Amino acid sequence: MRLPEAIPTGRMAQAELGYGEIYLTITREIPDPVPIPCDKAGGLDIGIIHLGLVSDGQEAWAISGRGLRSVKQGRAKAQAHLKKTRSRTKPGSRRRKCLNRTQHRASKKMERVTRHVLHHAANQIVAFCLTYGITRLYARDLGTLHYKKRHRRSRRTNQDVGALEFGRLEQYLEYKLRRYGIQFIKISEAYTSQTCPQCGHLTKMAGRTYRCRESGYRAHRDGVGAVNILNKGMHGAIRPGLILAPERITYRRPVPLKGTLRRSPAESRHVAGGINGGESGGPLQGLTTRGRSHRGSPRISAL
């Protein structure tokens, strides 16, 4: 067996053999982080359209979540079709067993894609903090996301919110930020997306652009939420006129997702790296296996 060249350094703790694949578990000791010699804070707004919009009041990065949402919706439709087809088969038949294996493979692939995207989204947020010297990152507390809201939202909104795993993204951010000595502080999100950063007036918006009915202030909706979280975390409450949403926002994709649902046999699988080569979510290239999918087309997978 030939191992990939970019394998992380450390002690190999476990080797698990799968169907045409092998999974290696490697452990290593990470030294204690050295605190960055500055005291600068940032705000993070986690959402559906953008997995995260992070800002320090002057610069802002928006990590797109449209690709992951599209993949989730496509998988949900495929799973519904498989369940409908499976209900028409007899228990114990070869057709039902084949559909069960297909459904299992689709679920496992969706799990890998989600984990891959969320790792890289967290890496982008950490990279922003390192680039602009942020030592404290304020984010909204996701524990109250569904509190007294589930029956007031539409069915489509509940499906989008339930499909995206905000808790997993939060876990990735906690240990990745801790590695660089950056504090991750969760605060209440109450009225952070409705309060005008300029005058403090409450305006509930439905589109992507925030327009204040009192002062006429206009800005990106997620940018308003990020700076209000920053303002609230620094001062305990939103103080109007202190921190405004940046006019320029850099939009970034965590990882290319084109061809995730259907990949041609000749197209190679692209795996984007993390902050460093050995980061979680980084590539392990060099070990490939060829197999046959349930439809008979060649399948290429990289570990």
pLDDT tens, residue by residue, 245-301: 998 999 999 888 766 554 433 333 333 333 443 444 443 333 333 344 334 333 333
pLDDT above 60 for 135: yes
pLDDT at 128: 95
Q: Are strands 183-187 and 136-140 parallel, antiparallel or unpaired?
A: parallel
Q: In the chain, how many domains are there?
A: 2
Burial class (CB in 10 A: 0-12, 13-18, 19+), 197: buried
- Mean model confidence pLDDT for the chain: 79
Give dist(CA 50, CA 253) in Å, integer: 10
110 and 9, same domain (yes or no): no
242 and 275, same domain (yes or no): no
49 and 163, same domain (yes or no): yes
Mean pLDDT in residue range 132-138 = 93
Q: Which of 54-58, 103-107, 146-150 has the lowest mean pLDDT?
A: 146-150
255 and 266, same domain (yes or no): no
Give dist(CA 30, CA 15) in Å, integer: 22
- Locate tokens 């450390």: which residue? 10
163 and 254, same domain (yes or no): yes
pLDDT at 152: 63
Residue 225 pLDDT grade (very low, low, confident, very high; cuts 50, 70, 90): very high
106 and 233, same domain (yes or no): yes
239 and 225, same domain (yes or no): yes
Helix (H, G, I), strand (E, B) or coil at 231: helix
pLDDT at 275: 45
pLDDT at 87: 92
267 and 255, same domain (yes or no): no
Name the residue with higher pLDDT: 268 or 193. Answer: 193
229 and 292, same domain (yes or no): no
Q: DSSP letter at 90?
A: P
107 and 162, same domain (yes or no): yes
Neighbours of 285 (CB within 10 A): 15
Residue 163 pLDDT grade (very low, low, confident, very high; cuts 50, 70, 90): low
Q: DSSP letter at 142?
A: G
pLDDT digits (tens, 9 = 90+) for 66-89: 888 888 888 888 888 999 999 999
17 and 43, same domain (yes or no): no
Q: Tell whether the torsion through CA atoms of 172, 113, 289 and 263 is positive or negative.
A: negative
200 and 266, same domain (yes or no): no
pLDDT at 22: 82
pLDDT at 33: 64
Boundaries of domain holding 272 = 1-30+262-303
